[in-house]
């Protein structure tokens, strides 16, 4: 299914805005009501609307006497009354984004926007923000593109996690790979999903040590014994708060001291 519909009203209208001030306009205008209740009223001039209300708390319409649309948000009210209605319609709409492939279910366009979705059937796939969609390489057997995601290693998996699981790939590579660094704890770090992928102590809740898996590839070992990752923002320990790595960098002159 398409995300929702845009409502469009066109014709000779009176537009009244009320808030800190009251303003009134008359003319042939087009009103657009987006799925998030943002209301935009356009005339023929320029790109800026004559009037607008962003993400209104409510949008209602009446047809008893002509056509009237009322949008309200906090103390603001936007009213549009159509005296001569040229048209009123609902048009299907979806989020827009770069084209990344073709939907194997309906042959619709797959685009990336807060994940990946089909603009025709609406099928959605969750995609990590740092993932790169491999549009120019071979697709998965299911017909979907693969994505490249760095979580310790560079993994190339299907967009559909039910087809190829990123979690399973990371777990196979790093589950129990590192010891829990907590003093007097003999546990291993397991790969778990807790909102995002983490390396957490197997003795939880007795030991609540856990670290988010960075978006990067392992390039060494920190003085604390945990791995270091090469990320887009630089080299870092699995433990983002690690003081030993910070000390090493200061000694190497990589980080300016307070002196």
Question: Quick one: pLDDT at residue 258?
Answer: 42
Please report, for the chain, the start and end positions of each structural domain, with discontinuous segments joined by +.
4-93, 99-172, 174-251
The pair of three-digit structure tokens given for residue 12, joined into one six-digit string? 């000779």
Q: Is the peptide bond preceding residue 58 cis, with omega within 30 degrees of 0?
A: no
Question: Quick one: pLDDT at residue 85?
Answer: 87
Question: Quick one: pLDDT at residue 257?
Answer: 40
Question: Quick one: pLDDT at residue 94?
Answer: 87
Separation of alpha carbons 52 and 72, rounded Å: 11
Separation of alpha carbons 171 and 122, rounded Å: 30
Separation of alpha carbons 86 and 115, rounded Å: 38
Question: Quick one: pLDDT at residue 245?
Answer: 64
What contacts 253, CB < 8 A, 6 or more positions away?
Answer: none
- Cα dist from 59 to 54, 65, 94, whole Å: 11, 18, 20
The pair of three-digit structure tokens given for residue 245, joined into one six-digit string? 């790595």
Per CATH, the number for 4-93 is 2.70.180.20
The pair of three-digit structure tokens given for residue 76, joined into one six-digit string? 């603001």
Question: Quick one: pLDDT at residue 135?
Answer: 86
Tens digit of pLDDT at every position of the chain (259 positions):
345 899 999 999 999 999 989 999 999 999 999 999 999 999 999 899 999 999 999 999 877 666 789 999 999 999 999 999 888 899 988 889 999 999 999 999 999 998 999 999 889 999 999 999 998 878 899 999 999 999 999 999 999 999 999 999 999 999 999 999 999 999 999 999 988 899 999 999 999 999 999 999 999 999 999 999 999 999 999 999 998 765 555 555 555 444 3
Question: Quick one: pLDDT at residue 1?
Answer: 39
């Amino acid at each position: 299914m398409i995300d929702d519909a845009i409502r469009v009203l066109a014709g000779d209208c009176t537009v009244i805005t009320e808030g800190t001030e009251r303003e009134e306009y008359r003319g042939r205008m087009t009103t657009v009501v987006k799925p998030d209740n943002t209301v935009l009223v356009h005339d023929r001039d320029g790109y800026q609307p004559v009037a607008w209300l962003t993400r209104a708390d409510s949008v209602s319409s009446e047809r008893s006497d002509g056509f009237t649309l009322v949008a309200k948000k906090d103390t603001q009210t936007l009213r549009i009354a159509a005296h001569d209605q040229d048209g009123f319609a609902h048009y299907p709409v979806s989020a827009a984004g770069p084209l990344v492939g073709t939907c194997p279910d309906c042959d619709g366009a797959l685009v990336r926007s807060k994940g990946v979705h089909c603009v025709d059937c609406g099928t959605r796939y969750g995609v990590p923000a740092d993932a790169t969609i491999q549009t120019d390489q071979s697709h998965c057997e299911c017909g979907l593109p693969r994505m490249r995601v760095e979580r310790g290693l560079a993994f190339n998996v299907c967009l559909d996690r039910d087809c190829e699981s990123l979690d399973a790939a990371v777990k196979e590579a790093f589950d129990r790979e590192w010891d829990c660094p907590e003093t007097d704890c003999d546990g291993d770090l397991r790969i778990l999903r807790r909102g995002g992928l983490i390396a957490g102590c197997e003795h939880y809740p007795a030991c609540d040590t856990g670290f988010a898996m960075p978006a990067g590839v392992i390039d060494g070992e920190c003085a604390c014994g945990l791995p270091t990752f090469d990320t887009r923002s630089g080299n870092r320990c699995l433990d983002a708060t690690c003081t030993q790595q910070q000390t090493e960098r200061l000694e190497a002159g990589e980080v300016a001291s307070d002196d």
